[in-house]
Amino acid sequence: MHSPGRVSKAIDDIGLSQQYIEKSKKMGIMHINDFLNADIPSLKMHPDFSMLWYTELLKILQKENLLLEFQKKL
């Protein structure tokens, strides 16, 4: 299990581009935990969703050692 501070880290604090942060926030994602709990089918319907955004999400989760946890929820 991950420590709450690590999982709930704000997306502003993980070295993302401002454009990525803005798109994420428009989709309701403010913290790493929001990525983990996101309803991916709903996100795919959002006008700010793109496969480039999703690919970057996977890289972020891998960097934060959360990719396997995310994949288990799919």
CA angle 56, 49, 66 (to 5 degrees): 40
How far apart CA 2 and CA 21 sit, in angstroms, is: 23
Q: Which has more pLDDT, 53 or 7?
A: 53
Tokens of 19: 């454009």
**pLDDT on residue 73:** 84
CA angle 8, 12, 16 (to 5 degrees): 110
Under 8 Å between Cβ of 2 and 66: yes
Q: Is residue 1 very low, low, confident or very high in pLDDT (cuts 50, 70, 90)? A: very low
Q: How many residues in total does the chain contain?
A: 74
User: What pLDDT, in 10s, does the model give residues 17-70?
Assistant: 999 999 999 999 999 999 989 998 999 999 999 999 999 999 999 999 999 999
